[in-house]
């Protein structure tokens, strides 16, 4: 028995749908392990804050407090990667990208390609709308579940 690409993709879907992190199968002399990469956890100790020696008193109790700057919220639905691979914005290096920020897409339109195991996989939009942000660059390595772009 040869492990076909469709079979491997079905196993990857089983991992994703059931919250598993790994599946291993053996068939005679052949074996396959499919593992979902989890986000890295930083076990390094947290930096220690050093208190200043002298703290000046505020001029008045009505001093304005500036809120911390937040990253702007992205509106719309995320299109995420269904696999690990390499992101390509166009069908070939000299072709125009499938979508750009501001492009209008319909449900089912191809928005990018992910190369995985030398196979080019078309990624399609699940909703109609306007592309408001593209989160990865052409040729970037991507992870399973990574946000590729947002459609509003």
Residues 16-58 pLDDT 10s: 777 777 777 777 677 777 777 655 555 555 555 555 555 555 5
C-alpha dihedral sign at 20, 21, 26, 32 = positive
Structure tokens at 118: 């030398």
Round to whole Å and give the CA distance between 72 and 95: 31
Round to whole Å and give the CA distance between 23 and 135: 30
Q: Is the pTM of this model over 0.75?
A: no
Upper half-sphere CA count for residue 94 (Cβ side, 13 Å):
0
Residues 49-106 pLDDT 10s: 555 555 555 555 554 555 555 555 667 899 999 999 999 999 998 999 999 999 999 9
Q: Is 15 helix (H, G, I), strand (E, B) or coil?
A: helix
- CATH architecture of structural domain 77-151: Beta Barrel (2.40)
Nearest by Cα to 145 from 37, 41, 42: 37
Report DSSP state, residue 83. S
- Centroid of chain to Cα 103: 20
Structure tokens at 76: 């719309």
Domain boundaries, the chain: 5-35, 77-151
């Amino acid at each position: 028995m040869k492990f076909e690409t469709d079979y491997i993709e079905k196993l990857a879907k089983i991992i994703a749908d059931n919250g598993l992190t790994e599946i291993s199968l053996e068939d005679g002399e052949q074996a396959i392990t499919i593992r979902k990469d989890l986000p890295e956890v930083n076990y390094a100790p947290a930096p220690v804050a050093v208190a200043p020696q002298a703290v000046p008193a505020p001029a008045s109790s009505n001093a304005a407090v500036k809120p911390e700057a937040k990253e702007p919220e992205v509106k719309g639905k995320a299109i995420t990667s269904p696999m690990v691979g390499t992101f390509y914005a166009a069908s070939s290096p000299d072709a125009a990208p499938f979508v750009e920020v501001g492009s209008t897409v319909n449900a089912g339109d191809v928005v990018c390609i992910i190369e995985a195991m030398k196979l080019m996989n078309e990624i399609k939009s699940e909703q109609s709308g306007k592309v408001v942000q593209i989160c990865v660059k052409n040729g970037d390595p991507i992870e399973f579940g990574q946000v590729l772009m947002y459609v509003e």
